[in-house]
Amino acid sequence: MDSEGYYWEYRGTYDGEDLYVPAPPWAGNINFYLFEGPNIIIETHSKPLCDVPEMLLGATPRDDGNLILTDDEKNELLKTDPEAEKFIRPYMGANDFINRIPRWCLWMKGAEPADIRKCPRVLERIERVREFRKKSTRDATKKQSDTTALFSEIRYSTTDYLAIPSHSSSTRRYIPIAWLSANVIASNAMFMCEGSTLYHFGVLTSSVHMSWVRHFSGRLRNDFRYSNTIDYNAFPWPKINEVPWFPDGNPLKLAIERTAQAILDARALYPRSSLADLYDERTMPPELRKAHEANDEAVMKAYGFVRHYEDDKQHDEDMAISLMYMYKKLTGCKEYTYSYTNLDLWERYYGPYEEEED
């Protein structure tokens, strides 16, 4: 980091007076996340730390592919089992969602057994699911061989919901997120956030949230492995209180809602493009980039963040460090004094430390 950066101790004179600016206690320290910053560990949380809608993982089929259909498989099935149309719902995993690949599923929750028995090809698929689950080494899966017409883990939304893919390329500046209809079944490679508003969308698709994801998210190879327990539940949201003298609401929140809507409007200008097309750094439309930049500024203002560095990497780390201290305030967690090799941290992750005998 630049020696003139404000992370470093400064001793000198200014306007004829002695001046001393102390460095933060972590200056020069490479922390657990391999960047210069404090030793604050972000834990997993089962519920959001802030007052935001809950985020849930999508449904798990555990079916050996028998309850999932491509376009061609759906059309072929309906030729012989036209009654099955009432069971077929749009189905999306992360790749389908980002690349706009149509897939479908047999969703038979609450279906009449009499209607299912009218569909011989569907019954064949159900029987294959039964055999697959019986052979599982997991006891819980074996028990589900008696309910093979249903997904192994049934999770769905009753209203339109904000969808976030569980994995996304780290080459994208933003993780592509969007609202999906309640009719769409999200797979267990997607997260569902029911009850989200433009405000929630704006914060989650901002550079501030992406700074959190880049520094603390898991990885699948080099891609982001988004999780609700760390990336969403542990994320410190801005503190925006209602302002009585503004009848329309807090101006900071309204600004985020306006810029979030502008992002959706910019996407709508390119109806034939998938999220992968729109968020490829080489093909991102200028209207969408401009809308995201305005949203970034609105969200940063809500947090009270000021850009200290022109360098994007330093600016990104600056935000991550601020968010770490917000997390510490929310949780009351400990900040370790030394680097990640200190004894407390070693014993926490590796057990009691014992010196080797000569």
Residue 48 has a pLDDT of: 97
The Cα–Cα gap between 47 and 56 comes to: 10
> Does the pLDDT of residue 74 top 80, yes or no?
yes
What pLDDT is attached to residue 41? Answer: 92
Tell me the mean pLDDT in the region 110-136. Answer: 95
Angle between helices 120-134 and 71-80 (to 10 degrees): 120
* pLDDT value of residue 247: 61
List, for residues 194-223, the tens digit of each pLDDT value.
Answer: 999 999 999 999 999 999 999 999 988 889
Which residues make Cβ contacts (< 8 Å) with residue 288, sequence separation at least 6?
263, 266, 267, 270, 278
User: Which residues, at least 6 apart from 268, have a Cβ–Cβ distance to it below 8 Å?
Assistant: none
For 17-70, where are the alpha helices, taking DSSP H only? none
pLDDT confidence bin for 84, thresholds 50/70/90: very high
Spans of all domains in the chain: 42-54+191-332, 59-154
Pairing of strands 88-92, 185-186: parallel
- Least confident span in 28-32, 95-99, 179-183, 261-265: 28-32
Give the pair of three-digit tokens for residue 177: 């997120």
E strands, the chain, are 10-14, 17-21, 39-40, 55-57, 68-70, 88-92, 103-106, 161-165, 167-168, 178-180, 185-186, 190-194, 218-220, 223-225, 335-336
Give per-residue pLDDT as tens, 222-278.
899 999 999 999 999 998 876 666 666 789 999 999 999 999 999 999 999 999 999
Residue 92 has pLDDT above 60, yes or no: yes
**Which stretches within 189-311 are classed as H helix?**
198-204, 207-216, 251-268, 275-278, 286-303
Contact by Cβ (8 Å): 317, 207: no
> Which residue is listed with tokens 């801005």?
238
Say what the pLDDT of residue 30 is. 84
Reading the block at residue 194, the tokens are 């029911």
C-alpha–C-alpha distance, residues 70 and 96, integer Å: 11
Q: Mean pLDDT, the chain, as a whole number?
A: 88
CA–CA separation, 191 and 197 (whole Å): 16
Q: Please tell me the distance from the alpha carbon of residue 103 to that of residue 73, in angstroms, as a whole number.
A: 9
Q: How far apart (Å, rounded) are the C-alpha atoms in residues 175 and 278?
A: 11
pLDDT for residue 358: 41
Position 334 pLDDT exceeds 70: yes
* Coil, helix or strand at residue 194: strand
Q: How many CB atoms lie within 10 A of CB 139?
A: 8
Q: How far, CA to CA in Å, does 332 sit from each of 24, 78, 327, 329?
A: 19, 57, 8, 5
